[in-house]
């Protein structure tokens, strides 16, 4: 499988180690940068390029996934999700790595390189790569809704439409959880 990687200065050392690990596992690794440490570099350019490559490869029928990371993984996930066709998930455990693939057919994951040990992060990445999309109808339906919105901005009808307005609490209302 081809794996596209993008990071920033916070993940540069991690990136080098990860590339060796993935190559040893038999994957083709494409590094989208950075190539040298610069504490002022910006992750969007690197992560967006990695995400674009994933979408391009998938459109060409290449089996591929992406991994983006930085200090927290949050900004990197946001950057990757700006690319049409990307479903990037922030992963922080084995379970979130599996669910990202099984339920969301995520094609990119984001990880906080400063939030986990290298071994933890690699276990998440390995699980993500090894886990297939379940293909269950409910998950496929939801992914199709996301893709449709991404293409034309149209949402499925609001199930609350035509219903009475919900009660709204304001700051002067009191709430007693014991009141039942």
Catalytic positions are 76, 103
What is the maximum alpha-carbon separation in the chain?
A: 62
Helices (H) and strands (E) in the chain, counts: 6, 5
Contact criterion met (CB below 8 Å) for 76 and 69? yes
Contact criterion met (CB below 8 Å) for 31 and 49? no
Contact criterion met (CB below 8 Å) for 86 and 108? yes
Return all residues near 142 (Cβ < 8 A) that are at least 6 apart: none
């Amino acid at each position: 499988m081809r794996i596209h990687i993008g990071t920033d200065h916070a993940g540069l050392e991690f990136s080098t180690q990860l590339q060796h690990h993935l190559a040893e596992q038999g994957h083709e690794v494409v590094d989208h940068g950075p190539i040298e440490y610069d504490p002022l570099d910006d992750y969007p350019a690197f992560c967006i390029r990695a995400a674009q490559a994933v979408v391009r490869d998938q459109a060409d029928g290449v089996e591929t996934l992406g991994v983006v990371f930085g200090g927290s993984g949050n900004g990197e996930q946001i950057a990757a999700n700006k690319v049409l066709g990307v479903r990037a998930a922030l992963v922080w455990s084995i379970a979130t790595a599996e669910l990202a693939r099984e339920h969301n057919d995520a094609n990119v994951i984001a990880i906080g390189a400063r939030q986990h040990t290298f071994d933890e992060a690699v276990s998440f990445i390995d699980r993500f790569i090894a886990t297939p999309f379940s293909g269950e109808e409910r998950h496929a339906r939801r992914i199709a809704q996301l893709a449709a919105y991404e293409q034309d901005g149209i949402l499925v009808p609001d199930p609350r439409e035509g219903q009475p307005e919900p009660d709204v609490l304001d700051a002067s209302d009191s709430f007693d959880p014991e009141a039942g």
